[in-house]
Structures are given as structure tokens and as C-alpha cells.
Structure 1
Amino acid sequence: MPADERAIELTEVAALAAATLKAEEIIALDVSERLVLTDVFVVASGSSERQVRSIVDAVEEALADHGAKPVRREGVAEARWVLLDFGDIVVHIQHAEDRVYYALERLWKDCPVIELPEEVRAGAQGDGAGQA
């Protein structure tokens, strides 16, 4: 059973919040067929620990406005790989170097990619050109 409407809604909110802070390579994977604990992984990168923390704050604030609070937060102090567990979705915000090393997309490559809003896809390219 694919991710439900609420998970997709929260995914889009989280991705848009990350995009506003210039997060890079934002993707969303529907892991609902593989995991019972969550429906979606949102993965985004920041180029510095400061940016990672800022993205974390923006995502938490945006999701709180939609009634979602994290049930677990890990890695915030180090800001290299922050995991925010909102139940329906888990947001991974990684320092760009760590993202390359751990390659979550490769580990979960069999999971369907969730199409994100155009604003996210345009910003995720890093050039702001708006191409999908």
C-alpha cells in the first residue's frame, strides 16, 4: 500500500521548507512497502553544519504548522546527519559530504520516488533555472 495522503502532504511541506533554505538534491522516497515504521523518507543536503541546522529548524516549523511534531530527533548537535521522525515521514538532512558517503538513495533505490512540487525540483537542481 503506497504512502497515504497525509504522508504525501507532510512530505511536500517538508520539501518546500527545505527548499526555501536552499537545501540541495531534495528527494522523497515511498518506503511504505519496505518499512512498517514510516511511509516516506525525505532526503536533503546542506553544504555546512549551519545550513543543516537552519534546514532542520525550517522543516520542524513548517511541519508544526501542519500539526506534526517530531517523535524523535537525532544528530542535531553535530548537524552532519539529522534525522527527524514525524511518524508518517522521516526527514534526513545531511551534510553534502555525508550524503555522498552514506548514499541513502542507493540503499533504497527499489522504492518509488515521490514527485515533489515544481518549486522544490527547481531549487534542488542548485541553479534555480526551474527545469524539472
Structure 2
Amino acid sequence: MTVADDVLAPVRIAAQAAADKQGHKIVAFDVSEQLAITDVFLIASAGNERQVGAIVDGVEEKLIAAGRKPVRREGDRENRWVLLDYIDFVVHVQHTEERSLYNLERLWKDCPQIPLDLDLAPDDPARSDDPAL
């Protein structure tokens, strides 16, 4: 992996924030070798639009507390697929239907998956051994 620790730390904060707001199937990919515009894609799912919004707000709140503010926030009008751009990493929070339709994991399957070390209960829906789910 070529992603610096100063990028991985806020990615892990964002992932934990998503898990804390009941996000599920949370995965991160090192896309630094394939893209010049960012290093990491973090992806999380939610079952409805309200939950997508709650996850996005939770991620943004935790990262602002850590000194990181997104340079761009897109898709929050419909809350089906919201993107938070932090330059070094991009957070994608997708409604389950969009996640299945666009299948970003398939698109980035050749990129290394980043271990997130989330603090999850054993039966937490955020836990997923298969990022393609």
C-alpha cells in the first residue's frame, strides 16, 4: 500500500463514524496507483435515505472534530449516493440499491483493500468479510 498514515487515520475515523451511525458493508480501497486525484475510496451503505443522511452527517462531524473539512459534498439533496471529497480520500455513502447497481467494489476490485479495524459488535451489520456484498 502506498497510502500515507496521515491519510489512513481520518479514513479510519470516517469508517468508524459510519459504523456508529449503523452504516453497513464498510470498505476502503487504496486507489492511489490507479487515480491521480485521490488515494482512498471509503464506501458505506444504508438502507434508506434518512440513514444515508445520518451517516454522512456523522462522518462529517467526526472529521471536522479531527480538523478535516470536505472540499465538496455532492448528492445530499436526494440522499441516495452522497460523496464527501477530502482530496486525499473520498467517502461514498450509498443507499443499498445504488450500492448494488453501481457496484464500486467490482470497479475497484484490483485495488488493495485497506484494513479499517472497526470497533464492532460480532453481529453488527457493518461487519462484512465480503466487500462485494
Q: TM-score, normalised by structure 2?
A: 0.90
1:10 paired residue number: 10
Q: How well do the aligned residues superpose, as a CA RMSD in angstroms?
A: 1.5
Partner of 1:56: 56
Paired residue type of 2:35: L
Q: Following the alignment from structure 1 to structure 2, what is the Cα–Cα distance between the partners of residues 17 and 7?
A: 16
Q: Displaced runs of 4+ in structure 1, greater than 3 A?
A: 120-123
8 Å contact from structure 2 (residues 15, 118) kept in 1: no
* Structure 1 portions without partners, runs of 5+: 127-132
Residue 98 (structure 2) aligns with: 98
Deviations 1:18-39 (A, max 9, x none): 0001101000000011111111
**TM-score normalised by length of structure 1:** 0.91
Instruction: Compute the displacement of 1:125 (Å).
Output: 2.7
Instruction: Give the match for residue 129 of structure 1.
Output: none
After superposition, what is the alpha-carbon deviation per residue over 1:10-58, rounded to whole angstroms, capped at 9, x for unaligned?
1100000000011010000000111111110000000000000000000
Name which of structure 1's ranges 39-48 and 116-125 shifts more when overlaid on structure 2.
116-125
- Change in 2 beyond 3 A, CA 1:95/1:14: same
Q: Is the 8 A contact 1:31 1:39 kept in 2?
A: yes
State the partner residue of 1:37. 37
